Amino acid sequence: MNTSSQPAAQPKLRLRGVSKQFLAARATTPTLAVAGFDLEVAAGEFVCIVGPSGCGKSTVLNMVAGLDAPSAGSIEMDGRAVTGPGADRGVMFQDYALMPWQTVAENIGFGLAHGTPGQGLSAAQREARVREHIELVGLTGSERKYPHQLSGGMRQRVALARLLANGPEILLLDEPLGALDAQTRLILQVELLRIWGETRPRSERKTAIFITHDIEEAVFLGDRVVVMSSHPGRIKADIAIDLPRPRRESVRAEARFGELADRIWGLIRDEAYRAIDGRVEANEPSKEETTA
């Protein structure tokens, strides 16, 4: 389907020369978390960003969300500069960030009740939209429960429903499946693709940026996988995932899936080993690699 990783003429999202410096506590010199980050994402594209922990993946996402300002470079959405957070870029946080004092239905309707997505909607329309999204993620019957009464997988569904109910144009997903057990994770990956609109034509899909440290997850979900290196966070490779959609569980058994996953692992293994233990050296040195 979309074997090309070259985005269309007017990208949905464009990051140019983005870098981010932090002044850590008790540090005298600022640390460079992200440097020279260039990325273009086409409308309807699902881009996964992988990299070792601490490589600045989340920093990039926060800057696109408008929660953090870049120290240098520009971020544009539809050709207009991103200056702050907005409901056109919805975020799903790693730990879900659900309001503990609100029920499932109230959490899903939070943006509709208090934010710009609910403007111009009647109470009945908002309620209908909440209901629709409760059904979409399969939470019917749990509307009145509080987050602490839910399992990790259910909380993740609430966060996803809340994200989608606000109707964002870009989905920013920060390791949303990270806290789940392996089985739940596999099930929700398939479900996420369905909800994203895998079976619909590309023009009807949302644009998504998905952060993960799980290589197989990235290959399974993405149209492209952007591999990052750390200290500072840079793009090491940008790999097109030419697996057909819709993707079934069986795609994991295909040779092409294994090839792609191996190639990405080859790109980050050195740093992954170093992150675990500075003394352990990977067997083979990896080559700097850039495609696209």
Partner 1 sequence: MSTIAASSPGARPARPSRRLALWQATALPLALLVAWQLWALTLPENTRAPYPSKVLATFFSLTASGDLPAALVQSLGRVLAGFGVALVLGVALGVAMGSSRALRDNLDPVIESFRPIAPMAVLPIAILWFGTGTPAALAIVSYAAFFPLLVNTVHGVSRVDRKLMQAAQTMGVPRWRILRHVLLPAALPSVLLGARLAMGVAWTAIIAAELAVGAKAGGGTSGGIGQMMFVYYAYSVDLNAIVVCMVVVGVVALAIDRLFRLAEHRLMPWRH
Positions that interact with partner 1 (CB under 8 A):
65-67, 84-87, 89-91, 93, 95, 97, 99-102, 110-111, 114-117, 146-148, 162, 166
C-beta of 117 vs 222, nearer to partner 1 = 117
C-beta of 66 vs 232, nearer to partner 1 = 66
C-beta of 113 vs 272, nearer to partner 1 = 113
C-beta of 11 vs 117, nearer to partner 1 = 117
DSSP-derived 3-state class of residue 56: coil
Amino acid code (one letter) for 94: Q
- Of 181, 177, 175, nearest to 190 by C-alpha is 177
Q: How far is the CB of 94 from partner 1 (least distance, A)?
A: 9
Q: How far is the CB of 86 from partner 1 (least distance, A)?
A: 6
Adjacency order of strands within the sheet including 89-92: 89-92, 170-174, 207-212, 46-50, 224-229, 234-240
Q: How far is the CB of 146 from partner 1 (least distance, A)?
A: 4
- Specify whether the CB–CB gap between 8 and 223 falls below 8 A: no
Q: How far is the CB of 239 from partner 1 (least distance, A)?
A: 28
- Specify whether the CB–CB gap between 44 and 217 falls below 8 A: no
DSSP-derived 3-state class of residue 119: coil
C-beta of 146 vs 265, nearer to partner 1 = 146
